[in-house]
Amino acid sequence: MGLFFYPTSRTKGEQNMKQSKLPQAAQWSVEETMKQVDGRLDGLTTQEVTDRTEKFGPNALAGKRQSTLLEKFIAQFKDLMIIVLIVAAIIAAATGEAVDAIIILLVVILNAVFGVFQEAKAEQAINALQEMSAPNAHVRRNGETVTLKSDALVPGDIVLLEAGDIVPADMRLVEVASLQIEESALTGESVPVNKDLVAVTDTSVGLGDLSDLAFMNSNVTYGRGVGMVTATGMETQVGRIAGMLDSTQERKTPLQENLAHLGKVLTILILVVAVVVFVVGMIRGNESLINMLLTAISLAVAAIPEGLPAIVTITLALGTTRMAKLNALVRRLPAVETLGSTDIIASDKTGTLTQNKMTVEKVITAAGVVDAATADGATATTDQGALATVLMLNNDTKQTTDGLVGDPTETALIQYNLDHGVDAPAFLAEHERLAEIPFDSERKLMTTVNKMSTTGDLWVTVKGAPDELLKRVTRIQVNGQIEPLSNEKRDELLTINHQLAVQALRVLAFAYRPVSEVPSEMTSDKVEQDLVLAGFVGMIDPERPEVAGAVEEAKAAGIRPLMITGDHADTAKAIAVRLGIIEEDDQAGVITGAQLDQISDEDFEAKVKQYSVYARVAPEHKVRIVNAWQKQGKVVAMTGDGVNDAPALKAADIGVGMGITGTEVSKGASDMVLADDNFSTIVVAVREGRKVFANIQKAIQYLLSANLGEVLTLFVMTMMGWQILAPVHILWINLVTDTFPAIALGLEPAEKNIMQQKPRGRASNFLSGGVFGNIVYQGLLEGGLTLLVYWLALTFPAHTASAQMHADALTMAFATLGLIQLFHAFNSKSIHGTIFTKQLFKNRAFNWAILAAFVLLAATILVPGFNSLFHVATLDLFQWAIVIGAGLTMVIIVEVVKLIQRRLHKN
């Protein structure tokens, strides 16, 4: 029935997307196509559509099965640290510490709920985005033309195509009228393909050469056509690639690697410390087996940062929420942090660095070159006016309620006149087109014959490539007068053409010839001769105005922007220079796809650092670019919108899909989707990613230093034979004074110099940059101050009764260990910077978190019933002063150390 799927081979690990065999439909004649798919030109009947829908299913891509909420929930418990926590809860419950067990399990479940919620939220957003991108199709059914969703198509359907349509399925064309289709989603080539009805017999050509076929998700840019559907859903060329992606392996993100490493290290340390304390206690013989087992559990609880998984998840979720508001939709939580470590941003040019909208930038007449913004309107009595008149007459653009529809070049010409206050539809209505010679890729010209309402004459108008049109021009309009075109002037115009082309402008020439009647023979030889040159226009897909600033910011942050495009090298370099990606004199920084094919993987990896612009490349080259940079140890972000971009998006550390122009396959393969297809949004996302990493790092430093202080306190208490803090004390401190401030640290605003720092690199981790040393000395300081307060309470007791004295000492140690962490939370607002700035109280969530944590901690001591539940005593004002003094001492010492660190770093 004409549904064909051909496997694709992958060579050298590059997942090459080239065709291994032509779709058979390309070799069929129109008549044979109707036989193969059992179709008719007047369309299928309702019953035939029903039968074929049951047989072939909907015309939609089958994505990976989405996991259920229960499966998402269970998956949250696969983390090593979570498993250790669950084991600790089981042991606590088995030894009668039910409160401890419940608190641990509540923290674990809270983390799982947050993870499930964010994953489900991201999936819903992507599904909504894909639903919005599903095109409508104009289909002939039961002899009538109807409009329906593309997923309702079946093989044999007759689809009507016109400029502006998205091709809804793979089809064999059965009628064409100047039809051009842009197939960059599959081929990577942005130039539209001229379509015809001639069957393709050469089986060695690629998809871009199949002029008799139209492919799903390609765009009709010009003309009209009719196609008979030969393949739907996963049997289309798009579906073939979508199916292949399911087997592509994904790399672990730096965040996942960091947390996995941290979890292993902590687990080992926890086990070692717990075993040592247990063995020493048993050897001393002062404690029972049960008591020492509870002590070991207390140490394990003290060492495990229970809140860390939840804090990481919440911080990432907050980051994704902020990024969504900035037009960056993150599909996987760890991708937020990975963005912050990005070294390379490899970006498509069209639509991402540029506006994906051709614009007239220069106008050239006999008088010279002027900016389009200062050019005259369409009045034929002036040179610029004559040019503007020809721009509109020689044009097939349609103006609809949705805007201009047609070839991007032609819509730019109409927009130029609209920008100058010309009512283009009214003008064209007054200048009826009487005849035409369509554009031909061989002669590179298009010709029309129009009525001229002002003179009653007819004008032959011609547009095309300057070098071709100048061969047919004998005269030129100068100051409203027609004069012979001299050889000197011709050479001058050709020089201008070259200069503009080097500046990345696409130059078109326009000419006209007054005639009294429509030529009897509408051929190039008879009509396109003895023309009057009206002038040239230089057009460009202009860079987005905000991108140059984003490129500069990326460079300042140590990130290297790369441009990847299917355009010619000169055009690519000119745009790259305008954006600041490369310098004007950087000749070695540009490489073409053809040159890249001549370089081995080994040589390319050795030379990859010298290239910043990749011109005339196909999407399959992107995988080589990603692999080469990753082998240099770099974290790579890669953009893409086409189906063939999907393997590169998967291979990159951050695959960035396009929300507007992107295909469903490219969006599905991406870690992040840009709602505005804008490069500057990537840089904004990188800034947010860096902030997320910095805030997670602050939280980790805060949590681990606090937990080290707890471990040191319990360890020394055990070794000294002192009464030790109970597991419920440690769990309450960890839940209240650790978790709330640590979560609030995730809301800290970015530090001012965050985008002046170099990327930290794949080899770095959360303990890099002096954080490990900070954790050690700050943890020792917290534990030392707590033990000092405990010793002071025992040495200089407020009460003489031994039991009350020990109760006061234990309570003061409990209060100090909790309050000292709250004071230290302020230290952790910056890893190395001072906290004594105007920003100290800017984070309102942090302020409330500290206040809430203090109230909850104080309640365990001050509120009757609570103090008995937690086995603590009531403290007097002097004892509270000692506790608060220890907390202030922590702040002062850490700030002095940070000052010394900054001074040493400067020197």
Residue 19's contacts (CB-CB under 8 Å, 6 or more residues apart) are 6, 8, 206, 207
What span, in angstroms and rounded, lies between the C-alpha atoms of 642 and 657? 9
Mean pLDDT of the chain: 81
- In this prediction, residue 692 carries a pLDDT of 85
Full-model pTM: 0.67
pLDDT band at 743 (very low <50, low <70, confident <90, very high): confident
Q: What would the mean pLDDT of 281-292 be, rounded to a whole number?
A: 68
Higher pLDDT, 192 or 242: 192
Answer yes or no: is pLDDT of 203 > 60: yes
- In this prediction, residue 153 carries a pLDDT of 93
What span, in angstroms and rounded, lies between the C-alpha atoms of 620 and 208? 14
Answer yes or no: is pLDDT of 199 > 70: yes
What span, in angstroms and rounded, lies between the C-alpha atoms of 416 and 654? 38
- In this prediction, residue 51 carries a pLDDT of 93
Tens digit of pLDDT for each residue in 450-472? 998 666 789 999 999 898 999 99
What span, in angstroms and rounded, lies between the C-alpha atoms of 596 and 616? 10
- Most confident of the following: 139-148, 159-168, 233-242, 395-404: 139-148
Q: What would the mean pLDDT of 850-866 be, rounded to a whole number?
A: 86
Q: Which has the closest alpha carbon to 537: 349, 350, 395?
A: 395
Answer yes or no: is pLDDT of 172 > 90: yes
> What three-state secondary structure class fits 800?
coil
pLDDT band at 256 (very low <50, low <70, confident <90, very high): low
Residue 368: both structure tokens together? 């010279």
Q: What would the mean pLDDT of 38-49 be, rounded to a whole number?
A: 91
What span, in angstroms and rounded, lies between the C-alpha atoms of 69 and 867? 40
Which superfamily, per CATH, for 359-540?
Calcium-transporting ATPase, cytoplasmic domain N (3.40.1110.10)
Answer yes or no: is pLDDT of 600 > 50: yes
Q: What would the mean pLDDT of 365-389 be, rounded to a whole number?
A: 75
> What three-state secondary structure class fits 338?
helix
pLDDT band at 86 (very low <50, low <70, confident <90, very high): confident
What span, in angstroms and rounded, lies between the C-alpha atoms of 521 and 525? 9
Determine which of 51-55, 491-495, 562-566, 713-717 has the lowest per-residue pLDDT on average: 713-717
Determine which of 28-37, 197-206, 549-558, 582-591 has the lowest per-residue pLDDT on average: 197-206
- In this prediction, residue 50 carries a pLDDT of 93
- C-alpha atoms less than 13 angstroms from C-alpha of 754 in its C-beta half-sphere: 22
pLDDT band at 122 (very low <50, low <70, confident <90, very high): very low
> Tokens 């220890």 belong to which residue?
886
- In this prediction, residue 3 carries a pLDDT of 32
| Bridge partners, residue 540, by sequence | 359
Answer yes or no: is pLDDT of 244 > 80: no
Amino acid at 257: E
Domain with CATH 3.40.50.1000 in the chain: 336-355+545-683
- In this prediction, residue 582 carries a pLDDT of 92
User: By the 8 A CB rule, do 144 and 46 touch?
Assistant: no
What span, in angstroms and rounded, lies between the C-alpha atoms of 486 and 393? 27
Q: Which has the closest alpha carbon to 11: 641, 668, 617, 601?
A: 601
What span, in angstroms and rounded, lies between the C-alpha atoms of 462 and 395? 10
What span, in angstroms and rounded, lies between the C-alpha atoms of 50 and 33? 21
- In this prediction, residue 15 carries a pLDDT of 34
Q: Is the dihedral of CA 724, 729, 735, 740 positive or negative?
A: negative
- Mode of pairing for the β-strands spanning 398-400 and 458-464: unpaired
Q: Which has the closest alpha carbon to 853: 685, 770, 752, 740?
A: 740
| Bridge partners, residue 225, by sequence | 161, 176
What span, in angstroms and rounded, lies between the C-alpha atoms of 573 and 582? 8
- Most confident of the following: 187-196, 225-234, 370-379: 225-234
- In this prediction, residue 4 carries a pLDDT of 30
CB-based burial, 826-846: b 16+ in 10 Å, e otherwise: bbbbbbeeebeeeeeeebebb
Q: Distance of CA 204 to CAs 139, 195, 207, Å?
A: 33, 19, 10
User: By the 8 A CB rule, do 229 and 213 touch?
Assistant: no
- In this prediction, residue 88 carries a pLDDT of 66
Amino acid at 360: V
Determine which of 630-634, 692-696, 715-719, 792-796 has the lowest per-residue pLDDT on average: 715-719
Q: What would the mean pLDDT of 357-378 be, rounded to a whole number?
A: 81
> Tokens 């009647």 belong to which residue?
517
Higher pLDDT, 381 or 590: 590
Q: Which has the closest alpha carbon to 197: 184, 214, 183?
A: 214
Domain with CATH 3.40.1110.10 in the chain: 359-540
What span, in angstroms and rounded, lies between the C-alpha atoms of 849 and 348? 44
Q: Which has the closest alpha carbon to 707: 428, 304, 144?
A: 304
User: By the 8 A CB rule, do 447 and 461 touch?
Assistant: yes
> What three-state secondary structure class fits 346?
strand
User: By the 8 A CB rule, do 168 and 135 touch?
Assistant: yes
Q: From edge to edge, which strands make up the β-sheet containing 560-564?
A: 328-330, 672-674, 654-658, 636-640, 344-348, 560-564, 613-615, 590-592
- In this prediction, residue 130 carries a pLDDT of 47
Answer yes or no: is pLDDT of 801 > 80: no
Note the maximum CA span of the chain. 123
Percent of the chain with pLDDT over 70: 82
Would you say domain 336-355+545-683 falls under CATH 3.40.50.1000?
yes
Residue 6's contacts (CB-CB under 8 Å, 6 or more residues apart) are 19, 20, 21, 23, 240
Q: What would the mean pLDDT of 743-759 be, rounded to a whole number?
A: 85
- In this prediction, residue 121 carries a pLDDT of 55
What SS3 string covers 156-207? CCEEEEECCCECCCEEEEEEEEEEEEECHHHHCCCCCEECCCCCCCCCCCCH
What span, in angstroms and rounded, lies between the C-alpha atoms of 869 and 835? 37
Determine which of 235-244, 365-374, 401-410 has the lowest per-residue pLDDT on average: 235-244
Residue 784: both structure tokens together? 């030392």
**From the candidate CATH numbers 2.70.150.10, 2.40.30.30, 3.20.20.10, 3.40.640.10, the one assigned to the domain spanning 24-64+134-241:** 2.70.150.10
Rounded to the nearest 10°, the torsion over CA 896, 897, 898, 900 is: 90
Residue 630: both structure tokens together? 């990753």
pLDDT band at 19 (very low <50, low <70, confident <90, very high): very low
- In this prediction, residue 7 carries a pLDDT of 29
CB-based burial, 805-820: b 16+ in 10 Å, e otherwise: bbbbbbbbbbbbbbbb
Determine which of 484-493, 521-530, 830-839 has the lowest per-residue pLDDT on average: 830-839
> What three-state secondary structure class fits 348?
strand
Answer yes or no: is pLDDT of 267 > 80: no
Residue 500: both structure tokens together? 């503009």
Answer yes or no: is pLDDT of 11 > 70: no
Which residues carry out catalysis? Answer: 348
Amino acid at 405: V
> What three-state secondary structure class fits 710?
helix
- C-alpha atoms less than 13 angstroms from C-alpha of 332 in its C-beta half-sphere: 20
What span, in angstroms and rounded, lies between the C-alpha atoms of 222 and 162? 7
Q: Which helix (H) or strand (E) holds 428?
A: helix 424-430
Answer yes or no: is pLDDT of 142 > 80: yes
Q: What would the mean pLDDT of 612-626 be, rounded to a whole number?
A: 87
Neighbours of 116 (CB within 10 A): 20
Q: What would the mean pLDDT of 508-528 be, rounded to a whole number?
A: 91
Answer yes or no: is pLDDT of 123 > 70: no
Answer yes or no: is pLDDT of 241 > 50: yes
What SS3 string covers 258-301? HHHHHHHHHHHHHHHHHHHHHHHHHHHCCCCHHHHHHHHHHHHH
- In this prediction, residue 80 carries a pLDDT of 57
Angle between helices 802-827 and 771-795 (to 10 degrees): 150
Neighbours of 18 (CB within 10 A): 13
Answer yes or no: is pLDDT of 254 > 50: yes
Q: Distance of CA 38 to CAs 32, 44, 148, 156, Å?
A: 10, 9, 21, 6
> What three-state secondary structure class fits 349?
helix
Q: What would the mean pLDDT of 841-869 be, rounded to a whole number?
A: 86
What is the Cα gyration radius of the chain? 35
- Most confident of the following: 81-90, 306-315, 373-382, 496-505: 496-505
Percent of the chain with pLDDT over 90: 28
pLDDT band at 278 (very low <50, low <70, confident <90, very high): confident
Return the ∠ at Cα 902 (arms to 899 and 905), rounded to 5°: 150
Q: What would the mean pLDDT of 10-33 be, rounded to a whole number?
A: 62
Domain with CATH 2.70.150.10 in the chain: 24-64+134-241
Q: What would the mean pLDDT of 411-428 be, rounded to a whole number?
A: 87
Which stretches of 22-97 are DSSP H helices? 30-37, 46-56, 69-75, 80-94
Residue 588: both structure tokens together? 């070695």
| Bridge partners, residue 140, by sequence | 145, 158
Higher pLDDT, 323 or 22: 323
Q: Which has the closest alpha carbon to 706: 645, 774, 759, 641?
A: 774
User: By the 8 A CB rule, do 427 and 392 touch?
Assistant: yes
Answer yes or no: is pLDDT of 871 > 90: no
- Most confident of the following: 131-145, 526-540, 573-587: 526-540
Residue 801's contacts (CB-CB under 8 Å, 6 or more residues apart) are none
Q: What would the mean pLDDT of 634-644 be, rounded to a whole number?
A: 84
